[in-house]
Each structure stands twice: as C-alpha cells, then as structure tokens.
Structure 1
C-alpha cells in the first residue's frame, strides 16, 4: 500500500516531461512565460530569473535551485519533491495548491507573497521569511521552521503538526485559532504585550514556559 501523501496540489502523479531544460531556460528568459503540464527530475538551475513566469500542473523531483529568483511568479498545482533551494526567493509570488515534500529550503523567502492551500511536509525551512505574506489554508507537518520570520503576516486556517518553531519571530502576527501544542515554540519572539499569542492553543508544558515571558516564576510545589 502506498504511503499517504499530504498536500493540496492536484497535479497528476505520473505526468511526463514535456519541456526540456533548454526550453525552460528559453521560456524564462522571454519573461511572463507559462510552463504547464510537465515534470522535471534532477534539474539543476543556478542564477536564473523566472521573470514572473506561471507554473501550472508541474512536478519538480530531486531538483536543485541555487540563486533562482521566483519573485512575482504564479504557481498553481505545483509539487516540489526532494528538492533543494539555496539562496532562492519567492517574494511577492502567488502559490496556490502547492506542496513542498522532503525539501531543503533554508532561508527561502515568501515575503509579501500570497499562499493559498500550501503544504510543507517533512521539510527544512530554517530561517524562511514569511513577513507580510497572506496565508490562507497553510499546513506544515514535521517541518523545521526554526528562526523563521513572520513579521506582520496574515494567517488564516493554519495547521502546524510537529514543527520546530523555536526562536521563530512572530512579531505583529496574530496566532489566534492556531494549535501550537505539538510544536517546539521555545524562544518564540513576540511583542511586549504578547498579543500575538492571544487565542492560540498550547500544551500545559508550553503554557508553563510562556509564563516565564511574563516574568512570572512557577513554584515546583
């Protein structure tokens, strides 16, 4: 029996490769390109600008992106499986029904982006930047988001399961309605009024740790 896949993308699992690497580079170089109904495996791109391209019904498997600029792109029904991102950005891009599965993407920036039905599953996103992004229906499972930045992000319908959010900077972002009870939130950064934490769910152990942010000491007795 195949293992259950977590995610939102509706791209067909067995889609073939219909665009070569050279064709992809040519399309991206032209600007405002549309890349659709294709898969890439083992693709390596370095220092490439996507120039606001649209990616629709695309799978990237075991690909490496280094210094690739996906700013202002639109990605719909896209899966990244076992991919590596080095010094890449997706700022001001729209991701709709996109999945990152087993990916390494430390420092990947989604700043000022729009994320709708996006899933991060067992991925490494330490230092990722979601500042001023709008995320609606966002799921992260067993994903490292330590020291990630979420300044003034707008979050709706967010599910976090077993994620590392240690030292994540949530300044100016409401966590109301979000269950953090299975996550590591040690050292989480919030404002002096702690209003970011209002309405979120934490475990008893986490609650005891958060009390220390208020300068309150809990007796062992």
Structure 2
C-alpha cells in the first residue's frame, strides 16, 4: 500500500506545493477547444468537439476550471497556459505540449502514457495515481512538483529541473535522470530499479530501502561490475 503523506494537496512547510484554487461555482462548458481562446471558471465534462481543421491548438488558456473525463489522445497544443486547473480521469495519452506553462495544476487518475511535456514550465503541479509510462519530461522546468502513486516506468527526465520535487510511491523503473538538476528531489517509496543517470541525482534524497537499487545503478554508470569470484 502507498505511504500516506499528509493529504493529496501536498506536504507542509514553506516549500509545499500550492493546490489549485477553484471557485465554488463553475459554468458548464462544451464549446470546441480552439486556439486563441480563454476559458475561465468552466466545468468541462467528457470531450468537447474538436475542430476538424486545427491539428495544433495554439494559445489556449485555461484558468480556474475542472476537466473531467476528457479524451484528448494524441492532441497537440502549442503555448497552452493552465492556472488553477484540475484534470480528473482524462485520457491524455500521447498528448504533446509545446512551449506550455502549468501553474497550480492537478492531474488526478489520468492516463498520460507517452505524453510529451518536454520543456514545459511546471510550478505547483500534482500528478496523483496517473499513468505516465514512457512520458517525455525532458528539460521541464519544475518547481514544487508532486508525483504520487503513479506509473513512470521508462519516463525521460533528462536535463529536467526537479527542484523541491517529490516523487513518492511511484514506479520509476528504467526512468532516465541523466543531466537532471535534482536539488531538493525526494524519491521515498518509489521503485527505482534500473534507473539511468543515477550519478546525476546529486542533492536528491532516497530512503534506506532504495539504497541497493540506487547503488547498483551508480556502479553500472561507473562501469563497475558486481559478480561472484570464479
């Protein structure tokens, strides 16, 4: 069973993630998700109709909104801006975000396998019980991120900034942390078997139960073999 950590809104302390702030009343929204649009205070259920002539949605802004059950598989967004937004049970598999920013955003029970968030600016973002296997998180600029009880096998964190980030109770098997800025990164409770780039996890904190897997990854990165004497 995953370790319980305060509540789903983050840890306590001055560096705690700030949760999304939504108004009590949200207006139902069902209009197409198109570019050059600002949606504020909306309750979006299922999948709004997609514009047939717009392969890439550019300059979409979402604020103070909740999106439940959306199916956006393989959609591409450029300069998506989300502030105080909660995504619940959405299928975002293969979604591509280009030059996008997320602040006080929560993803809960979302499918995001193969999502491409490379280079995204992410501050105060929660991913809870999400599936992000093989996700591309390369070069994200992250601050106060929380990834809890999620699948991150073979996720690509290369050259990402993971400052004051917690990845807890997640499956990080074969994830790549090469070149990361991991000052303040905490990995307690996560499966770290076969991770790559372990030598670049300077400043990160692990638990005693993770020592063998991380040490093995460090030996492998240094070219040191561990085997019985023959």
Per the alignment, residue 38 of structure 1 pairs with 42
Give 3-state SS (helix, strand or coil) of 2:139's partner: coil
Q: Does 1:195 align with 2:199?
A: yes
Kindly indicate whether the alpha-carbon contact (under 8 Å) linking 1:50 and 1:70 is maintained by their aligned counterparts in 2: yes
Q: CA RMSD in A?
A: 2.1
Per the alignment, residue 16 of structure 1 pairs with 27
What is the rounded CA distance, in whole Å, between the counterparts of 1:218 and 1:204 in structure 2?
Answer: 23
- When normalised by structure 2's length, the TM-score is 0.81
1:102-141 equivalence runs, <5 A: 102-141=109-148
The offset of 1:202, in angstroms, is 1.9
- When normalised by structure 1's length, the TM-score is 0.84
What is the rounded CA distance, in whole Å, between the counterparts of 2:227 and 2:56 in structure 1?
Answer: 53
Kindly indicate whether the alpha-carbon contact (under 8 Å) linking 1:145 and 1:164 is maintained by their aligned counterparts in 2: yes
Unaligned runs of 5+ in 1: none
Correspondent of 1:99 among 98, 106, 109: 106
Per the alignment, residue 74 of structure 1 pairs with 81
The offset of 1:115, in angstroms, is 0.2
What is the rounded CA distance, in whole Å, between the counterparts of 1:122 and 1:94 in structure 2?
Answer: 21
Moved more, 206-215 or 162-171: 206-215
Unaligned runs of 5+ in 2: 1-6, 11-18
The offset of 1:154, in angstroms, is 1.3
Kindly indicate whether the alpha-carbon contact (under 8 Å) linking 2:192 and 2:214 is maintained by their aligned counterparts in 1: no
The offset of 1:83, in angstroms, is 0.7
The offset of 1:13, in angstroms, is 5.5
Moved more, 97-106 or 82-91: 82-91
1:110-189 equivalence runs, <5 A: 110-189=117-196
What is the rounded CA distance, in whole Å, between the counterparts of 1:108 and 1:200 in structure 2?
Answer: 25
- CA deviation vs aligned residue, 1:99-119 (integer Å, no higher than 9, x gap): 000111101111111001100
Kindly indicate whether the alpha-carbon contact (under 8 Å) linking 2:108 and 2:130 is maintained by their aligned counterparts in 1: yes
